[in-house]
Amino acid sequence: MGNKVSKENTKNRIIESAKKLFADKGYQKTTVMDISRQAGLSEAALYDYFQGKEDLLLTIPDLWVLELIGDLKEQLFGIKGAINKLRKFLWWYLRRVEEAPLDAKIVYLFLKTNANFMKTEVYSNVKTLYSYLIEILEEGRGSGEIKSDLNPYFARDIFVGTMEHIITRWLLKDRSYSLFDNLEEVFNLMIDGFRANGSEPVPVARKLFEERKTDYEDKQD
Amino acid sequence: MGNKVSKENTKNRIIESAKKLFADKGYQKTTVMDISRQAGLSEAALYDYFQGKEDLLLTIPDLWVLELIGDLKEQLFGIKGAINKLRKFLWWYLRRVEEAPLDAKIVYLFLKTNANFMKTEVYSNVKTLYSYLIEILEEGRGSGEIKSDLNPYFARDIFVGTMEHIITRWLLKDRSYSLFDNLEEVFNLMIDGFRANGSEPVPVARKLFEERKTDYEDKQD
DNA sequence: CAGTTTCCCTAATACTATTAAGTTATACAG
DNA sequence: CTGTATAACTTAATAGTATTAGGGAAACTG
């Protein structure tokens, strides 16, 4: 044998199997036998590709987050204004989460229980991802679009906290509704606190929520 | 034997041991033998008090959250104005987290990985706790303190998201700084978006952060 | 004091992650 | 084409770990 292609293929099969099983049954309740069986291998063979079950848990989201970092700059390219960039960041990120819910589940639900989470590549890469928010907020302060006395680190905390809250709830509720329901309204409410006084708020979106209010309570509350 | 007091005592010893070990080494890496040994028992004896390891994980925070619900009403009693109540809610909750970091760690880091989290008592009790925010926000809307067009559910999402973000980071960073650092500033920035136009913002706090800005980056970023 | 219950123990069981040691079969050097 | 190195995989062993079975002794009950 000695085929590079088949080796990569097998590795991917293991990753995909593990991803599915972790997201489905949880990390603890997934056995190495479950994973290797799903991938069409013996248990021992898996250890030729990964150091073990925990290594597998850490590797999966690492690939995903790295891909996100590569994409972000491109997505923000050409967008004018800090608030428009913040909006794009949120919509873009939630779409990526929607497209890769298994990776997101591992990052936002399972990884944090790991004692070494703060020392992982994933953590430092997510930090890099969020650090773009600081740049955007500073830019907005410079241009006068955002309050001159706004501390970008505090604003980022609010932004990231709200975003992760939305994501986590959606994942815990088994993705039973759209991540984008009411997003416009939550975004506007959050961003209103960041705006400079001259900068206009968004009146259109406000009307919308009145119609969909009850809907929201049912599904997400 | 047959002593009720000693039985309760043993149960508490098990809970305290488990709490410490879970928070310290994580749920997975804590063995039943670790717990029972710390509590001065054999492994089998533990099963007379709890159905198993997972039952123990779910029981611990349940007691804590129930206690919080009992305390909340009393804490808010006599406070005038929705924004003052929101402030009190945040400060009170963070103090309780600071006083019981082991319970908080289990609720905010470990429990969410459990596939049945949404069906637990803890989840529904935390929901009850957060539902007070809706009442407060509606009150503020009625009194004109808060924007008349604010949807309280969206505002709650921002409030809870930001609060849980602050708590989670603090727990992951091994509680190496004070939970209350910069809290005033983050609170004011968040609440600025909720305020009715006539309602005055808080200018005093803003000056403070300029002095402590670098401090914040070092420790929390 | 006899019987029952409470509280706890030792020992067995079944499952799981990981390792050891070996097998198959392909690539490729000569 | 043939022998062999090695990539890719297997079965079987090992060292834990959660949970259960079954029992024993102390203390309470009547």
Reply yes or no on whether the pLDDT at B217 is more than 90. no
Chain B contact for A109 (CB, 8 A cutoff)? yes
Indicate the range of A155-159, B91-95, B205-209 predicted with least confidence. B205-209
- For residue A80, what is the DSSP state? -
pLDDT band with cut points at 50, 70 and 90 for residue B219: low
Reply yes or no on whether the pLDDT at B21 is more than 50. yes
Chain A contact for B182 (CB, 8 A cutoff)? yes
Token readout for A18 is 């593990």
Question: Domain check: are B3 and B96 in the same one?
Answer: no
18-47 on B, CB < 7 Å from strand C: 40-45
- Check whether residue B48 has its CB closer than 7 Å to nucleic acid strand C: yes
Question: Domain check: are B125 and B170 in the same one?
Answer: yes
Question: Domain check: are B42 and B59 in the same one?
Answer: no
Q: Which of A50, A65, A91 is the last residue of a domain?
A: A50
Task: Give B146's strand partners.
Answer: B195
Residue-level pLDDT, tens digit, chain A, 221 residues: 445 556 678 999 999 999 999 999 999 999 999 999 999 999 999 999 999 999 999 999 999 999 999 999 999 999 999 999 999 999 999 999 999 999 999 999 999 888 788 989 999 999 999 999 999 999 999 999 999 999 999 999 999 999 999 999 999 999 999 999 999 999 999 999 999 986 665 554 444 444 444 455 545 66
Selected residue with higher pLDDT from A205 and B102: B102
Question: Domain check: are B155 and B205 in the same one?
Answer: yes
State the amino acid at position B213 in one-letter form.
Answer: K
Token readout for B188 is 């004011």
Please classify residue B203 by burial: count the beta carbons closer than 10 Å to its beta carbon, then call 0-12 exposed, 13-18 middle and 19+ buried: exposed
Question: Domain check: are A57 and A42 in the same one?
Answer: no
Look up the pTM and report it: 0.89
Which pLDDT score, from 0 to 100, does residue B126 have?
97
Reply yes or no on whether the pLDDT at B209 is more than 60. no
Dihedral sign computed on CA atoms, order B23, B26, B27, B33: negative
Token readout for A29 is 């309740």
Question: Domain check: are B72 and B43 in the same one?
Answer: no
- B156-184: average pLDDT: 97
Question: Domain check: are B16 and B65 in the same one?
Answer: no
Range of the domain at A136: 53-220
Question: Domain check: are A111 and A207 in the same one?
Answer: yes
Q: How many domains does chain A have?
A: 2
- Check whether residue A45 has its CB closer than 7 Å to nucleic acid strand C: no
Which pLDDT score, from 0 to 100, does residue B207 have?
47
Residue A12's CATH number: 1.10.10.60
Residue of B28, B160, B221 with shortest CB distance to A153: B221
Question: Domain check: are B91 and B190 in the same one?
Answer: yes
Q: How far apart are CA A110 and CA A157, in angstroms?
A: 21
Q: How far apart are CA B16 and CA B10, in angstroms?
A: 10
| CA-based max dimension of chain A | 69
pLDDT band with cut points at 50, 70 and 90 for residue B202: low
Question: Domain check: are A109 and A135 in the same one?
Answer: yes
Residue A137's CATH number: 1.10.357.10
Question: Domain check: are A58 and A23 in the same one?
Answer: no
Indicate the range of A52-56, A111-115, B193-197, B202-206 predicted with least confidence. B202-206
